[in-house]
Amino acid sequence: MTGTLAMESEQAKYLEAAKEVVKREAFNMQRCLDKGQLMDGLRHATEMLNELRTSILMPKSYYELYMMVTMELTHLTMYMSAEFIKENKIADLYELVQHAGNIIPRLYLLITVGVVYIKSKECSRKDILQDLVEMCRGVQHPLRGLFLRNFLLTSTRDVLPDVDETSADTGTVDDSIDFILLNFSEMNKLWVRMQHQGHSRDRTKREQERLELKILVGTNLERLSRLEGVTVSKYQNHVLPAILKQLINCKDSIAQEYLMDCIIQVFPDEFHLKTLDIFLDTCCQPQGAVNVRNILISKIGRLSNYAQADPSNIPEDIKLFEIFSGKVTQIIQSRTEMPPEDILALQSALIKLALNVYPSETGYVDQVLQNSFNIFEEDKSRAKGCSTELSRMLRVPVDHYQDILTILQLEHFTPLFSFLDHRIRKELCVYIMEHVIQTDTYIDSHDQVDLFLTMMTCLISDQPDQPKEPEDPEDFELQQSLVGRAVHQMTSSVPDQQFLILNMCKKHLLNGGDKRIQYTLPSLVFRAMELCRVYFELKEEDEKWEKKVCKILQYINSLLSALVKAEYWDLALRLFLQSALICDLMGIQTAETIAYEFVSRAFAIYEEEVSDSKAQLVAISLIIATFERTINFSEENHEPLRSQCLRASSKLLKKPDQCRAVSLCAHIYWSGKNRENEGSAMRETKRVLDSMKKAVRISNQCMEPSVQVQLFVELLNKYIYFLDNGCTDVTQAMISQLVGKIRDDMPGLEASEATNQIVQHFNSTLAYIKSKHGMSFPTS
């Protein structure tokens, strides 16, 4: 590190010293010129130019010095233009400056004078230009030569003959082309040769320096592209072949990559179109471009943009995609050492081309996918370690189409997944699935669902290549919830088709194993219930609706059985109850049987598998609530179930739980419905009051006073509810008895937040009773 720092300050010192000399000599030159002493002026100019002979400066510092010197030279040019043109002594001067002792100052001066000469005497142009570009061969030191030739190119910028010149004497555009091409090939040679200067261990440092200088070489191409006289045919027949000849033969990847890119950037699109074949053939040659990837991608990108800007830019007979696709395949096959990431980058570029230029031709995209598949299938080792790139390539059509259905049409999309690492494959699946949900795309046939879920298999079931250790539970839950959400995108507006879709989903999702189904199956159950409702709505139009509904119910049953088998008790219990409601809604014989079965399965789970007392209360409350909502049970089935509810409630372990559950049962007798009642509530007042009394009795047995009072208040509220709903058998006596009890016990409670709440609840209840029913209970 200190080495480079020391070197940098060294450089700065050398540069400073050189600049001092340049400043001084430039000043002296100017002074002599002002006095009209040309010879002295030239002497100082030579002294100044001598500074450019240095070998010590690095490219960056040399550039700075070069800029300064050439700036000063413009004064000389101006002086000569003014003084000599009129006296016509410029030819002598052209000879004179060739007496400078050292080649660097000699050639800089020659170029300076030469340009003035051309400006003064047009007929000399062709010869002078040729002389200058030939003479520059005298400097073979790479750095000095590159800058000298750059000076030549920039100085002659305004004097090169272009399209409007026709006289062979003064030169035509062909002479300009040859002039630049010669300068270009010489500069390229010097630039490539830099590679061989110095110790081989400094290679990377030299490559860095070369990259800093690349623009000097590229300027030649840029100048060529600005010649109006370079027409398509001149470009095709002369300019491009000459450039490519240098590129191929230099066998230098830095030069090839930069200059190819330079060609692509500086020449117009029509030129590229016309010369696509020759350009691509050059890339394909085995000793041609070393780094073909970036070059091709850049070319594809350029023409793809051109075509996109206006499709008519591309003539009918130029099949861009076919040409590029053919060449890319050829290159990949011939270069077995090509790294997979390069292969994929090229394929991605082709996909983008197909998508942008031929949006309606999904076949093109599929063809690229197929080619990629074949390449990897042929030699599996080529796919190693490039999962990220492959996945990136596969995302391109996903992002472009914004429509999973089109992706599903690509036959060779999913097969490529097999070359992805497990982790990357999963990420891609998640990406696609999120995409489907975000774009709210519906997958509306069971075939497509099959294709989609096959594509997503990595999320749906265990994979042979997945890591041994279980993955992060949070991630897993997120992924599986995503699958559950995606189920809702698999929707057809045709009910029969929807049923096929559901069956297809089931087929795939049941492969998920115990740990996945808890996230995925509930979605299917709800989708199935939804479908039942659809058929129910259609029962006037579809005479087979009963049969179809029964099939769906069986379908639900099989899903729930899978959850039971995997011992997801809570989930199964809730889904059984929910499903029972749907069965019941159907109002048909077979459905009732199934509904009964569902409720009884829920009971079975409740009795056998729910052990925690809190969970038991929740479960029985759910069962009671569900049962209360049913409408189509026959009395034959209704009676045993409601008795069961009551029995189960009174068997709960804790008294408060018993009390609450039993009081809930009262609702069944009040507002429960069965088929015999034809939709009206049971209104079995006696049983309602029996249950309520039983609940009061149970709360009497509570040992904890505060809980007891709380229960009383809750029961008081229940009484009021029934009274409000027209249960006239609830008497004031019953209520005042309860109120009395509460008042008796209340003072004995310990002061606490809970007690406060009870008191408040009680007072609010009393206020309500008073306002609604006009009852008041004065304290005795």
Q: Site residues (CB under 8 A) for other proteins? A: 91, 94-95, 117, 121, 123-124, 127-128, 130-131, 134-135, 137, 169, 185, 189, 192-193, 196, 199-201, 245-246, 249-252
Tokens of 750: 């310990």
CB of 138 to other proteins, least distance (A): 10
Tokens of 270: 């029509």
CB of 249 to other proteins, least distance (A): 4
CB of 157 to other proteins, least distance (A): 20
Alpha-helical runs (H) found in 88-141: 90-96, 103-120, 125-135
CB of 458 to other proteins, least distance (A): 51
CB of 118 to other proteins, least distance (A): 9
CB of 187 to other proteins, least distance (A): 11
Q: 645-650 — which CB contacts under 8 Å span 24+ positions?
A: 645/620, 646/691, 648/603, 648/606, 648/607, 648/620, 648/623, 649/620, 649/624, 650/694, 650/698
Residues in Cβ contact with 471 at an 8 Å cutoff, skipping those fewer than 6 apart:
none
Please say which residue, 143 or 559, places its beta carbon nearer to other proteins: 143
Please say which residue, 12 or 123, places its beta carbon nearer to other proteins: 123
Please say which residue, 128 or 429, places its beta carbon nearer to other proteins: 128
Neighbouring C-beta atoms of residue 364, cutoff 10 Å: 20
Question: How many Å apart are CA 222 and CA 576, to the nearest integer?
Answer: 77
Place of tokens 């709440």: 757
Please say which residue, 96 or 266, places its beta carbon nearer to other proteins: 96
CB of 390 to other proteins, least distance (A): 37
Question: How many Å apart are CA 630 and CA 583, to the nearest integer?
Answer: 9
Tell me how far apart the terminal alpha carbons of the chain are, to the nearest angstrom: 98
Tokens of 623: 């069962």
Q: Answer for the pair 401, 407: CB distance below 8 angstroms, yes or no.
A: yes
Please say which residue, 252 or 450, places its beta carbon nearer to other proteins: 252
CB of 121 to other proteins, least distance (A): 7
Tokens of 70: 């050439």
Please say which residue, 256 or 414, places its beta carbon nearer to other proteins: 256
CA–CA distances in Å: residue 289 to residues 251, 253, 255, 323, 344: 8, 7, 9, 18, 18
Tokens of 79: 């002086």
Q: What one-letter code names the amino acid at 465?
A: D
What are the respective helix, strand and coil percentages of the chain, to the nearest 5? Answer: 80, 0, 20
CB of 124 to other proteins, least distance (A): 3
Concatenated DSSP letters for 166-184? --TTT--HHHHHHHHHHHH
Neighbouring C-beta atoms of residue 539, cutoff 10 Å: 15
Tokens of 57: 């400066």
The distance from CA 237 to its chain's CA centroid, rounded to whole angstroms, is: 44
Signed CA dihedral, 206, 212, 218, 219: sign only: negative
Concatenated DSSP letters for 302-359? HHHHHHHH-GGGS-TT--HHHHHHHHHHHHHHH-TT--HHHHHHHHHHHHHHHHHH-T
Please say which residue, 77 or 130, places its beta carbon nearer to other proteins: 130
Q: Answer for the pair 684, 639: CB distance below 8 angstroms, yes or no.
A: no
CA–CA distances in Å: residue 733 to residues 25, 164, 463, 698, 762: 124, 119, 70, 19, 17
Q: Answer for the pair 111, 73: CB distance below 8 angstroms, yes or no.
A: no
Backbone angles phi, psi at 274, to 5 degrees: -65, -30
CB of 367 to other proteins, least distance (A): 39
Question: How many Å apart are CA 600 and CA 595, to the nearest integer?
Answer: 8
CA angle 304/307/310 to nearest 5° reads 150
Tokens of 730: 């609830």
> What region does 234 belong to: left with phi over 0, alpha with psi -120 to 50, or beta?
alpha
Question: How many Å apart are CA 356 and CA 777, to the nearest integer?
Answer: 83
Q: Answer for the pair 673, 631: CB distance below 8 angstroms, yes or no.
A: yes
CB of 192 to other proteins, least distance (A): 6
Q: Answer for the pair 272, 299: CB distance below 8 angstroms, yes or no.
A: yes
Least Cα distance to 738 among 767, 762, 772 occurs for 762
Backbone angles phi, psi at 389, to 5 degrees: -65, -40
Q: Answer for the pair 671, 627: CB distance below 8 angstroms, yes or no.
A: no
